[in-house]
Amino acid sequence: MLTKINHIGIAVQSLADAVPFYRDNLGMAFMGTEEVPEQKVTVAFFQIGESKIELLEPTSDDSPVAKFIEKNGAGIHHIAYEVEDIEAAIARLVADGARMIDSVPRNGAHGARIAFIHPKTSRGVLTELCQMGH
Ligand SMILES: CC[C@@H](C(=O)O)C(=O)SCCNC(=O)CCNC(=O)[C@H](O)C(C)(C)COP(=O)(O)OP(=O)(O)OC[C@H]1O[C@@H](n2cnc3c(N)ncnc32)[C@H](O)[C@@H]1OP(=O)(O)O
Ligand SMILES: [Co+2]
């Protein structure tokens, strides 16, 4: 069902502050930024091997990432796994009793279709499924 880790999401207060560390000090390949209004975040992506690091800055106080930072501070926010068929993956998880945050895919960055599994199901890790546009 899962084909690879697409990205690891890291919540940050400020992309302007965080991007130079990942780009210049760690030397990761910076892929640019994108606002994703549906999720109330602006993200910066870095390629690392076959996967990516996604820095997430909240765009409003009621963003899920703003709430996370308020509670925990900046840090690892979610892991995103790539799937070939997101509807089939959701249906299988629902049938197995998983608590889905999204039972219908939403719009993610880079034109991906995404769905989150609640961290209470995935043992304390907020988990994103993503199907890339082909
Ligand atoms: C850029 C777009 C896209 C992409 O293409 O990659 C993205 O990555 S968008 C990323 C931002 N979007 C989201 O996070 C959407 C999904 N998240 C949510 O719906 C909510 O954040 C949530 C996970 C349902 C939590 O919201 P809420 O219930 O309102 O917050 P609480 O603080 O009350 O949390 C309840 C419970 O869950 C634990 N929790 C919350 N967030 C995380 C997390 N990131 N990782 C692990 N655990 C998390 C929280 O600690 C609470 O636990 P208890 O205290 O034990 O009850
Ligand atoms: Co993500």
Q: What is the pLDDT of residue 78?
A: 98
Report the sign of the C-alpha dihedral through residues 92, 119, 51, 133, in that order: positive
- Ligand 1 atom nearest the C-alpha of 38 is 2
| Residue the block writes with tokens 């890291």 | 10
Superfamily of structural domain 2-131: 2,3-Dihydroxybiphenyl 1,2-Dioxygenase, domain 1 (3.10.180.10)
The whole-number pLDDT of residue 87 equals: 98
Q: Are 128 and 64 a contacting pair, CB within 8 Å?
A: no
Q: Which ligand is nearest to the CA of 115?
A: 1
- Give mean pLDDT, residues 40-45: 98
**Is it the case that residue 3 has pLDDT exceeding 70?**
yes
Q: Taking residues 113-119, what's their average pLDDT? A: 98
What is the structure's pLDDT at 133? 86
> Does 115 contact ligand 1 (Cβ within 6 A)?
no
The DSSP letter of residue 118 is P
Q: Mean of the pLDDT values across residues 27-45?
A: 97
**What number is the average pLDDT over the span 19-34?**
98
52 pocket-lining for ligand 1 (C-beta < 6 Å)? no
pTM of the entire structure? Answer: 0.98
**Is residue 128 within 6 Å of ligand 1 at its C-beta?**
yes
Average of pLDDT values for 21-48? Answer: 97
pLDDT at 123 over 70: yes
Nearest-angstrom CA–CA distance, 59 and 43 = 10
pLDDT of 1 over the 80 cut = yes
What ipTM, to 2 d.p.?
A: 0.99
* Predicted pLDDT of residue 134: 59
